[in-house]
Amino acid sequence: MRKSVFAVLAALLLCLSACREAPVQESDNFDELIVVGFSQVGAESDWRAANTKSMQEAFTEANGYRLIFDDAQQKQERQINAIRSFIQQDVDYIVLAPTTELGWDTVLKEAQNAGIPVIIIDRMIEVEDESLFTCWIGSDFRREGDRAVEWLEERFGEEPVNIIHLQGNIGSSAQIGRTNGLDEGLSRNSNWNLVARDSGEFTQAKAQELMRHYIDLDFNVIYAENDNMAYGAIDVLKEEGLTPGQEVIVVSFDASRRGLVLTLAGDISFNVECNPLHGPRVSAIISRLEAGETPTKFTYVPEMTFSSETITQNIIDLRAY
C-alpha cells in the first residue's frame, strides 16, 4: 500500500516538474526570436494582400522571427505612430512599406538613434540623409509606366488616343512613376489627349465612382495605375454596355492573378507586373545583416509585362499571387 502511494506521489512530482519545464523552454526560444516590426500601407488592393501574406509567411516563429504587424489604413500618420511603437518595444528590425515618398526624416532619425535598422520595401522614400535606412527593395515604377506607354504607342500609332487616367495615392512612388511615364507619353505624342485624371486611391470602389462620373466623356483608353482600379473601371464599362478591349482599351499595373484572368479574357489589354513577394527577400536581407554583412542599398526586382494577345492559362496557373 505504502509502495503504491509513493509511486503515485513520484509520478505526480515528475509530471509537475515536466509541466514547469515546458513554458520555461518556450520563453527561452521566444527570447531567441528576431523581432521585426512591419508597418504596412493598408489593404487597398490584391497586390497589398499578397505582399502582407508574403511577409507573414516569411516572418514566422518557425523561421526564427516574431512579427509585429501594423496596418496603417493608407495613412502616413498611422505609420509614423507604428514606427514609434516599434521603437518603444525595442524591435530588432523595422520594415516599412511607405504610403508616400516624403515625410519620414524625423521618425527614421528616432529609429536610427535607437540603433534599429530600417528596411524599406515596395515604394521608395525621399529623405535628406540616406543613412536613415539600411536598404530598399521594390519596383521601378517609372519603368513600369514607360512600358505601358510604349505598348500604347505601338497599339495606336497615329490614331487618336483619348485617355482617362486613374491615379494611385498621390505622392506614392507607384503613382509618381506611373504618372510620369504617362506624362512623357502625352508630351511626345501629339495624337494623345488627356481627357480626365483623378486619384482612385488604388481601390476598386473609388475607381468605380470616378468612372461613373466620366462615363459620358469621349475616351478610348483607360490608364489605371493598378489592377483594382482597372476592375472598377471595367465594372462601369460593362454596366454601360461597352466592351473593354474593343471600344475602350484598358491598361493596368500589378498583374495579380485576377488581373491576369481579366487580361486573358481581353478586358485588360496590357498589364505591367509589379511584384509583391518581398517576404523572402527581406528575410534574406536580415540574414545578411545578422551575419555582419552589408546588403545592397537599392534593389529593383525584375518584372514582366502581359498582353491579352500573348498571355496563356498556363501563366495564370503558375501565378503565386
Q: Where do contacts with ligand AHR occur on this chain (CB under 6 A)?
A: 44-45, 47-48, 122-123, 174, 202, 226, 253-254, 274
- Of the pair 167, 289, the CB lying nearest ligand AHR is at 167
The distance of closest approach from Cβ of residue 174 to ligand AHR in the complex, given in angstroms and rounded to an integer, is: 4
The distance of closest approach from Cβ of residue 189 to ligand AHR in the complex, given in angstroms and rounded to an integer, is: 24
Beta-carbon contacts of residue 252 (< 8 Å; ≥ 6 apart): 224, 226, 227, 229, 230, 259, 263, 268, 270, 271, 272
Beta-carbon contacts of residue 192 (< 8 Å; ≥ 6 apart): 161, 163, 185, 186
The distance of closest approach from Cβ of residue 278 to ligand AHR in the complex, given in angstroms and rounded to an integer, is: 10
Do residues 223 and 189 lie in contact, with contact meaning Cβ atoms separated by under 8 Å?
Answer: no
The distance of closest approach from Cβ of residue 48 to ligand AHR in the complex, given in angstroms and rounded to an integer, is: 5
Q: Distance between CA atoms of 262 and 279, rounded to whole angstroms?
A: 26
- Of the pair 47, 306, the CB lying nearest ligand AHR is at 47
Decide: helix, strand or coil at residue 90: coil
Longest dimension (CA), the chain: 103
Sheet with 161-167, edge to edge strand ranges: 192-199, 161-167, 221-224, 249-254, 270-273, 305-307
- Of the pair 116, 203, the CB lying nearest ligand AHR is at 203
The distance of closest approach from Cβ of residue 17 to ligand AHR in the complex, given in angstroms and rounded to an integer, is: 53
- Of the pair 121, 135, the CB lying nearest ligand AHR is at 121
- Of the pair 80, 121, the CB lying nearest ligand AHR is at 121
